[in-house]
Chain A
Amino acid sequence: MTVRAVEPGLFRIGDPETEWPSITLIGGWSPTSRLAHFPLLDTCPYTGATDVEERDLGTRGTLWGWTAVTAPPPGYRGHVPYGFGIVELSDGLRVLGRITESDPSLLSFGQPMRLVAEALYTDDDTGDTVITWAFAPGASDRDGVAEGPAA
C-alpha cells in the first residue's frame, strides 16, 4: 500500500512504503514575531514579518476543543461520524484537525493528544490511500504512529 497526502506541503510522511507511516506537520516560525503558524506561509500571519523559517511542529499537545461531524458535509470523502477539534501544541500553537475519537463524551479538556496519520479514501486511479493529519488521544512513545486507519 502506498499513501499520499490529501494536499502537498501540509505534512511530511515518514516512510510512504511502510504499512502505516508517521507524519510531521510542516509549520512556519518567525524569529522576529517569535510565533509559529500552520500551514507554512512566507509571511507571519500574525505580524506580517517576512523572516519565516520552515519548522516541523511538535507531535504532542493537549485537547483544547472538539466535536464530531455526524453527517457527510459537501465534498467530503471519508467516513462518518468523525471527530473534529483543536489541539494546543507544547509551543502554544492551536492546530485544527480531525480527532480519531468520534464520540465526544469520551474526550475531555486538556487530555494528552498525539499527531497521527488518518486514512480518508482510496484514490481510484492509483490505488493510493489518501491520508490527512489527525490527533489521537494518548501520549504514547510512538508519537506520530497510529495503529491504522480509524474505523
Chain B
Amino acid sequence: MSALNRVEVAGIGIHPFGRFDGKSVTRMGVDAVRDALADAGLGGGSPMKPPFQAAFCATAYSGVAAGHKVLGALALTGMPIVDIEAGCASGGAALQLAAGAIAAGQFDCVLVFGIEKMPKGIIRSSFFEPWREEAGLAATPSYFALRAQRLMRERGVTKAHLAEVVVKNRRHGVNNPNAMFRKEVTADEVLASRTVCEPLHLWMLCSPNEGAAAVVLRRARPDANTHRPTITLRAAALRSHLPGSVLGEATPLSGIDDSAIPPASRLAADSAYEAAGLGPDEVDVVECQDTDAARELISYEELRLCAPGEQARLVSDGGVSVGGRRPVNPSGGLLSKGEPLGASALAQVVELVEQLRGTAGPRQVAGATVGLAHTVGRGANACVMIVSR
C-alpha cells in the first residue's frame, strides 16, 4: 500500500451545504468541480484536452448518470465517468477507487466529486423493504437512539455529554462559511429541543440537506515547484461490516453477542493506519461522522482516538475542541454542515486539506500535519482517509 504515498490532493472545491431551492444538484456539482479544477491549476480544460483521465461521482440519490450531467455541463467528457454509491461513505469509496487507480499506474489525474440534494426529514432509503417501513422498523434515528443508549450504559456517557458534542460542533461551525447552521447553541437549548427518539433530541441529529464537494487527485511530482505544501493522500480505506452485531450499520433484524466483532469503522481505521504507516497518536486533526451526537463519541473509540470509556472526558475537558489537544470536526461536522450523503466525505477531505495548508482561518488547528476523515453508514460502509503534508 506504500504506493498510495505518491498520490497527492492537488485541488479542492466545495459548494456550501444547506438548502438551495431552485438550484439543481447538477449545478451544485458544476460549482464544486470548477473550483477544484481551478484550485489544482487545471482550469480551462476542453473535450479535446481534458485535464483528468477519469472521474468518479459519489452520490446516493441523484439518479442515473448524475456524474455525466455535471461534467457534460462543463464540456469535460470522453473519459470514464462512474457514479459510486456506498451510503454515507460514497465519497470515501470514490476516493479509494481513484487513488488505487493512480497508485496502480492506470491514470495520472482523477477527478472525484460528490453531489446530493435530499428532502427534509428522516432519510428514506430503498435499502429497506416496504414492509419494514410499514411496520416502523426503518426509522433511521431509532437505530441511532439504540446505539446511543448502549453507549451511555456501557461507557459512562450521559445526555449532558451528548449535548456537549453538539455545543462543540456548532461552535466550530460558526466559523465555517460552507456550513448550514452558523449559530452557537447552549447545552440547555439542545436538551430543550424536542425528543425524536429517546435519548436523542432534534438538535443532536444532523439534517439531510444539499451540497457538493470535489477533489482532484494526481500522481505526486516530487520535483514540482509549488507555492504551497503538497498534501499527500496517505490512505483511503473502505470496509463493509462483519456479520453479527444487531446494532451495526447493516441494521439486521437480529444479532448475536458482538463483543468480539470489530465494527466496520474499526476495520477501515486499522486498514488506513496500516496503509499510511502511522498510528492514531500521530493524527493532529479529525473529521468524523457525527450524524448524531452519540455517533461522534462511538467513532472516537472505533478510530482508536481514545480508550473505551474515555470519550466523555475527552469532550468535557475540551481536548476535541479547536485549541485542544486533537480537535475533532473543526468544520462544525455534520451537526453544523448538514449531510448531503454523496458530498459529506469529500467535504471532510476539503476541510482537512484547508487545515494542512494552514488556510482554515478562525478554524485553523495550529501546526496540523496529519489529518484523518471518517464516515460510516448504510451498508454497512465505513471509510477512513488519512492525509498529510
Residues of A at the B interface (CB closer than 8 Å) are 6-7, 27, 35-39, 45-46, 65-71, 73-78, 82, 84-86, 92-98, 104, 109, 120-121, 130, 132
Contacts and interface: CB of A to CB of B under 8 A. Distances in A.
Interface stretch (B79-87, B110-118, B178-186, B252-260): B252-260
B195 interface: yes
Chain B: interface residue count, which band? 35 or more
Interface string B117-155: 000011010001111111111111110011001100100
B149 A84 contact: no
A122 B200 CA distance: 31
B196 interface: yes
B146 A73 contact: no
A66 B146 contact: yes
B149 A66 contact: yes
Contacts of B134: 6, 75-78, 120-121, 130
A120 B197 contact: no
B136 A94 contact: no
Contacts of A74: 121-122, 124, 133, 138
B142 A78 contact: no
Contacts of B256: 35, 46, 92-94
Contacts of A78: 134-136
A93 B135 contact: no
A112 B136 CA distance: 23
Contacts of A38: 253-254
A96 B147 CA distance: 13
Nearest to A132: B135
Given A7-B129, A73-B136, 5 more contacts: A67-B142, A67-B149, A73-B140, A74-B124, A92-B256
B244 A46 contact: yes
Contact of A94 (B200, B243, B246): B246
Nearest to A103: B198
Contacts of A97: 137, 253
Contact of B133 (A66, A76, A98): A76
A82 B136 contact: yes
Contact of A93 (B132, B138, B150, B254): B254
A56 B94 CA distance: 43
Contact of B131 (A7, A27, A45, A95): A7
B245 to A, nearest CB: 9
A7 B134 CA distance: 10
Nearest to A109: B153
Interface in B195-231: 195-200
Nearest to B121: A74
B152 to A, nearest CB: 11
B325 interface: no
B136 A67 contact: no
Nearest to B153: A109
A93 B197 CA distance: 24
A98 B254 contact: no
Interface centre among B153, B198, B254 (most CB of A within 10 A): B254
Closest 3 CB pairs of A and B: A75-B133, A73-B139, A67-B145
Contacts of B132: 7
A96 B138 contact: no
B49 interface: no
B302 to A, nearest CB: 18
16 contacts: A6-B131, A7-B129, A36-B254, A38-B254, A66-B146, A68-B197, A74-B133, A75-B138, A78-B135, A82-B136, A84-B136, A84-B139, A94-B246, A94-B254, A104-B198, A132-B135
A104 B134 CA distance: 22
B144 to A, nearest CB: 9
B122 A73 contact: yes
Nearest to B131: A7
